[in-house]
């Protein structure tokens, strides 16, 4: 009989998509497997499971396939995932799992994990989905779900955050700061990186950009809190004075139909390229390299302060100068006039002033971009993130002194 201690990961998208969203997952599981038996619970997806996870984890897939590029499917499967968590918790208890790690902030997941698995639960607190989707008439429901989650979080022995700002916010609401571990998002710097000049020129040409044009690039899931309508309206104001400006928006999501209509109504068809989902992460890297300025934008809601966005991490890794919303987590990494410029996400004039400054000064863009690339290696190193994640999880499972 295998007597090794066991740790479980729970993540609704499964290990393939989880690894795309959190690049350090394969080395984290590999490192944990040297000390314990790792079990992974999630839904099925079309994304291949990394070979290192196949080798080092026991994978348990629930009987549903989720396509996170389709918003309706994602909502339905997330609801099914939440409903299945009691069974997942009981299964982990029967397996003798010592600790469970939920690397996402899905409403009710922490209370359900505590109730059906037990107290040794770790959670990542980042996006608050209730803030994004429970608005208007649904706002009271969102507040009620938040209250239930906070009550459970106060009793968790381990919480990871993606920003120091989140730690301070949680501590102000009664959580023990000694249990909260800020760990920045990792980046696979072999995947996101600056391309050689010839390849970068080819990437720009593929989108039809002339050398003299200045391309603002943004990517990610098009949620309402990304504020791309704010960007489009500001670009419409700037375009008569700066006809060389272009906007490359990479990704898809529930906002895409509205954004396409807005592009048409503002007569920005020649300015804006909305790619939808690109077929692979190397293609995303090529698209970022077609840009001159990396946009980091959220509307400024409470949870927008709680993490580094994928756009921030990947833009820096590609050596792009940043034009970033002044938010708590973002401002921990983006330093004014060092690796980018910051603007108030509620002030279109501040955004336009920053864009004009960068668009008109190639030397400034080059200096800020070089610093951003250097800072990406310092802040988002996968080995550092792996070490900062594995050690607390081993302590949570009571195997701190174990050796390979």
DSSP 181-227: EE-PPP--TTTS-PPPHHHHHHHHHHTT--TT-EEEEEES---GGG-
Give the per-residue pLDDT at 1: 40
Ordered domains of the chain (ranges, CATH): 6-186+381-396 (3.40.50.2000), 197-379 (3.40.50.2000)
Count of Cβ atoms closer than 10 Å to residue 381 Cβ: 16
Instruction: Record the pTM.
Output: 0.90
pLDDT of 349-395, one tens digit each? Answer: 999 999 999 999 999 999 999 999 999 999 999 999 999 999 999 99
Q: Which strand ranges, in their side-by-side order, compose the sheet holding 214-219?
A: 272-274, 245-250, 214-219, 293-296, 322-325, 340-343
pLDDT of 233-270, one tens digit each? Answer: 999 999 999 999 999 999 998 899 999 999 999 999 99
What 3-state class would DSSP assign to 98? coil
Give the per-residue pLDDT at 272: 98
First and final CA of the chain: distance in angstroms? 19
Give the per-residue pLDDT at 2: 58
Query: Average pLDDT, stretch 322-333?
Result: 96
Q: What percent of the chain has pLDDT over 70?
A: 98
- Which backbone phi and psi does 227 adopt, to 5 degrees? 70, 25
Average pLDDT, the chain: 94
* Residue 17: closest CA among 82, 61, 58: 61
Model confidence at 403: pLDDT above 60? no
- Say how far apart CA 274 and CA 272 lie, in whole Å: 6
> C-alpha distances in angstroms, 403 versus 27, 32, 175, 385?
17, 10, 31, 20
* Residue 398: closest CA among 97, 1, 98: 98
Query: Average pLDDT, stretch 339-343?
Result: 98
Model confidence at 339: pLDDT above 80? yes
Bridge partners of 172, per DSSP, are none
Model confidence at 101: pLDDT above 60? yes
Model confidence at 34: pLDDT above 90? yes
> C-alpha distances in angstroms, 122 versus 54, 57, 252, 259?
22, 18, 30, 37
Model confidence at 107: pLDDT above 90? yes
- Say how far apart CA 323 and CA 311 lie, in whole Å: 11
């Amino acid at each position: 009989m295998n007597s090794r201690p066991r740790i479980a990961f729970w993540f609704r998208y499964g290990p393939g998509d989880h690894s795309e969203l959190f690049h350090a997952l394969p080395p984290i599981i590999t490192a944990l497997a040297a000390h314990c038996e790792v079990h992974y619970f999630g839904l099925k997806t079309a994304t291949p499971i990394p070979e290192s996870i196949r080798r080092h984890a026991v994978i348990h897939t629930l009987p549903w396939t989720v396509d996170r590029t389709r918003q309706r499917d994602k909502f339905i499967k997330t609801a099914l995932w939440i409903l299945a968590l009691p069974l997942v918790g009981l299964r982990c208890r029967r397996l003798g799992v010592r600790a469970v790690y939920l690397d996402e902030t899905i409403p009710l997941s922490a209370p359900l994990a505590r109730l059906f698995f037990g107290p040794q639960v770790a959670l990542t607190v980042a996006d608050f989905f209730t803030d994004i989707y429970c608005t208007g008439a649904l706002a009271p429901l969102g507040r009620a779900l938040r209250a239930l989650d906070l009550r459970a979080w106060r009793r968790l022995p381990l919480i990871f955050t993606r920003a120091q700002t989140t730690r301070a916010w949680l501590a102000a609401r009664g959580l023990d700061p000694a249990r909260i571990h800020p760990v920045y998002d990792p980046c696979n710097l072999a995947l996101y990186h600056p391309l050689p000049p010839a390849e970068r020129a080819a990437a720009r040409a593929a989108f039809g950009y002339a050398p003299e044009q200045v391309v603002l690039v943004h990517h990610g899931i098009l949620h309402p809190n990304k504020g791309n309508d704010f960007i489009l309206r500001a670009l419409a104001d700037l375009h008569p004075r700066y006809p060389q400006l272009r906007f490359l928006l990479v990704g898809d999501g529930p906002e895409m139909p509205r954004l396409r209509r807005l592009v048409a109504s503002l007569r920005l068809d020649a300015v804006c390229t909305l790619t939808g989902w690109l077929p692979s992460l190397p293609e995303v890297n090529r698209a970022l390299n077609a840009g001159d300025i990396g946009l980091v934008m959220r509307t400024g809601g409470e949870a927008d302060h709680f993490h580094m966005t994928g756009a921030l991490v990947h833009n820096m890794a590609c050596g792009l100068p940043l034009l970033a919303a002044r938010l708590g987590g973002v401002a921990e990494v983006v330093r004014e006039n060092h690796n980018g410029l910051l603007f108030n996400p509620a002030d279109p004039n501040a955004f336009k002033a920053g864009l004009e400054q960068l668009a008109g000064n190639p030397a400034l863009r080059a200096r800020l971009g070089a610093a951003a690339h250097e800072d990406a290696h310092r802040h988002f190193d996968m080995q550092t993130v792996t070490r900062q994640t594995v050690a607390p999880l081993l302590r949570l499972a009571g195997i701190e002194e174990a050796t390979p």
